[in-house]
Structure 1
Amino acid sequence: MTTVTEPSRTDLARQTAIRTAAGTSQLPSRLVEPPEALRPWITDIGVIAHAPDGPRSVTHVPDAAVRLVVRTLPEGGSDVLAVGPRTRASYNTGKRLPLCLDLRIRPGAARPLLGAPAGDLVGRVVPLKELPGRSTARIDRALREWGHDAPVDVALAELAELLPPAFEQGAAADRDREALVRSAVSALSTRPGRPRPAPVPEVAHALAVSERQLRKLFTDGVGVSPKHFARIDRARQLLAGARDGAGAPVPWAGLAQATGYYDQSHMAAEFRALFGVAPSAFFSGRLPAGTPCPSRAGR
């Protein structure tokens, strides 16, 4: 039986490596831990600055997380968007905005926070004010007044004031579902030293639920099925491990083994399915032509 535990504190080094491999390091950015008051809801925060004469091409890699994105606008003020899970990479010509905050919502917390299941947000970008969560309208009003000249800490402090502590104001069922989803995410994630995630039946057994219940709870709380989450997470671990400590590329065969693929051809096929290009093309910068980055999208 697999022992399923709560995930540890966010591995910022891993997320930073993923951003670097995806090319987002072309934009001046940093990844920070959320303040204590935000940790029940938010796992990490990207602070991204867009220089007026900087690069316009931005790669968005597959990501099973729901995110809250606060974008400052050149004319002043901000807009606040809920961004659903991305099941495939997209290649966009980015807008030259002064500053963005990219907050990853903790697995299982999307419904209590936004009032909508993560499954309804897959592939979508939705203005926060359009979602039915109890705090979404207040959060939208507060963060839309934040400008790029104000310190990032001001926006985060505003957000911390508006969010309830943990799930104390929610139903006990919400807390139970969130804890189960987080445990399942931990078991299904690829990590150094554990390249193969636990099989879904084993995870369901360890959590004392049926496979059908696990799929339903996982899709509601994360947005994608457990198997699809494992595919995306393994591909993200591949991005994180693509270079060694000295910055040199890791050989493909060794990278495939370290990230739990059966062999190099299996890795290449899975990568192409999620990214639209072969690993060699992606890591050498031979990417599909960028399309305009939409402010909102349907499924």
Structure 2
Amino acid sequence: MTIPPAQLPSVTTDLTETTTPAPPSLRPWLTELGRIPANRNFAVPFAHIPWATTMIVLRTEQGHGSRDPLVLGPRTRASYATADKPLGCLRLRLAPGATGPVLGVGADDLTDRVVRLAELPGPAAGLAAELAELRHDELLPYLEKRLPRRIRESPTQRLHRTLLRTAVDTVSADPTGGTVPALAGALAVSERQLRNLFTAGIGVSPKHYTRIDRVRRVLAAAGTSSWSHLAAGAGYYDQSHMSAEFRSLMGVSPRSFVDGTRLPVLPCRPSRLG
């Protein structure tokens, strides 16, 4: 019996990705380079789970180099897609607060959007053509030589990056302490300032950032323990709270996702900044 695509076991892009940390000279602006190999099983849809980062993505095809560098903004909800040919990608993750200095726009201008790198006003746009031709092992050395000298960052932008890094580290260390008041206290800023920092520097509110972080924790640990233990470990009040939040961001319940039930697949198309 043929299993309908909507019932096939879920595969997330994160599970197939290998990562290389950015060298120290790039870490103010980039955290890592991810490499997703070409998918040859066209029947199995990929789940693009929510993320709270901005990425420069270079799609790769078998027998060809990278093509048309794209920028993917923070994704507030999951999407699902299938490939019609062997297609992999390289993902350069920007550090919190680095979107402005690197791309020339606020992270909130890119939320839930896909745009061409060359169309953005920041210094990285001038590197798009060369990035498209580089192998994965050439990307970080190339950026080490070119990117830092192009960036002009104000003291305020550097301060915001430092504050956001502290906030992200706080949430990562203790998901139960990632409330807006707790994060504002850790950064010694007002709750309003914290929200503005997250909106401009990460692209989502601190509350939504925490929601995404918790769902990703559940996905990473699914199958290793009971749902109630996963809920507690991810910082939810209880299993019902986890299920409601998971459904809100993933479109289905945790159990249904693991069983292979998903939303319909949607195409990923670049859009223009307006």
Same fold at TM > 0.5: yes
Which residue does the alignment assign to 1:13?
none
Q: CA deviation at 1:143?
A: 0.9
Change in 2 beyond 3 A, CA 1:199/1:130: same
Tell me the equivalent position of 1:159: 143
Alpha-carbon separation, structure 2, partners of 1:174 and 1:230: 23
1:205 is displaced (CA, Å) by 3.0
Once residues 254 and 150 of structure 2 are traced to their aligned partners in structure 1, the CA distance between those partners, rounded to angstroms, is 40
Question: Does the CA contact (< 8 Å) of 1:64 and 1:85 recur in 2?
Answer: yes
1:69–1:80: 8 Å Cα contact kept in structure 2?
yes
Which residue of structure 2 aligns with residue 135 of structure 1? Answer: 124
Distance 1:296 1:95, change over 3 A: farther
Task: Report the secondary structure of 1:229's partner residue.
Answer: helix
Higher percent of residues as helix: 2
The percentage of counterpart residues that share the same residue type is 43
Given candidates 202, 208, 212, the residue that maps to 1:222 is 202
Q: Which amino acid aligns with 1:80?
A: P
**C-alpha separation in 2, matches of 1:298 and 1:95:** 28
Which residue number corresponds to residue 5 of structure 2? none
- Inter-partner Cα distance in structure 2 for 1:73 and 1:44: 21
The aligned length equals 265
| Match of residue 212 from structure 2 | 232
Determine if contact 2:10/2:47 at 8 Å carries over to the other structure.
no
1:42 to 24, 30, 39: 30
Report if aligned partners of 2:69, 2:116 keep a CA contact under 8 Å in 1.
Answer: yes
Tell me the equivalent position of 1:105: 94
Q: Deviations over 1:40-74 (max 9, x none)?
A: 22222221121455555211001011111011346
- Residue 100 (structure 2) pairs with residue 120 (structure 1): no
Q: Which residue of 2 aligns with 1:281?
A: 256
Paired with 2:218 and 2:101, the residues of 1 have a C-alpha distance of 31
Q: 1:210 to 1:252 in 2, by over 3 A?
A: same
Secondary structure of the 2:153 match is coil
Cα RMSD after superposing both structures: 2.6
In the TM superposition, 1:244-263 aligns within 5 A as 244=224, 250-263=225-238
Q: Which runs of 5+ in 1 are unaligned?
A: 1-19, 245-249
Q: What TM-score does the superposition give when structure 2 sets the normalisation length?
A: 0.87
Deviation at 1:32, TM superposition (A): 2.3
- The alpha-carbon deviation at position 79 of structure 1 amounts to 1.4
Change (3 A) 1:297 1:94: farther
* TM-score normalised by L of structure 1: 0.80
Give the match for residue 186 of structure 1. 169
Per the alignment, in what secondary structure is the counterpart of residue 109 of structure 2? helix
Cα displacement string for residues 114-167 of structure 1 (whole angstroms, at most 9, x for unaligned residues): 110001100100100111102322x20211223xxx4x2112222222210797
Query: Quick one: distance in 1 between partners of 2:27 and 2:150?
Result: 8
Q: Deviation of residue 179 (structure 1)?
A: 0.7
Q: Distance in 2 between matches of 1:267 and 1:166?
A: 44
Please say if residues 21 and 239 of structure 1, whose CA atoms lie closer than 8 Å, have aligned partners that are also in contact.
no
TM-superposed CA distance for 1:98, in Å, is 4.5
Q: Work out the CA distance in 1 between the residues paired with 2:25 and 2:69.
A: 20
Gaps spanning 5+ residues in structure 2: where? 1-8
- What is the CA-CA distance between 1:295 and the residue it aligns to? 4.0
- Tell me, what secondary structure is at the counterpart of 1:103? strand
Amino acid at match of 2:91: D
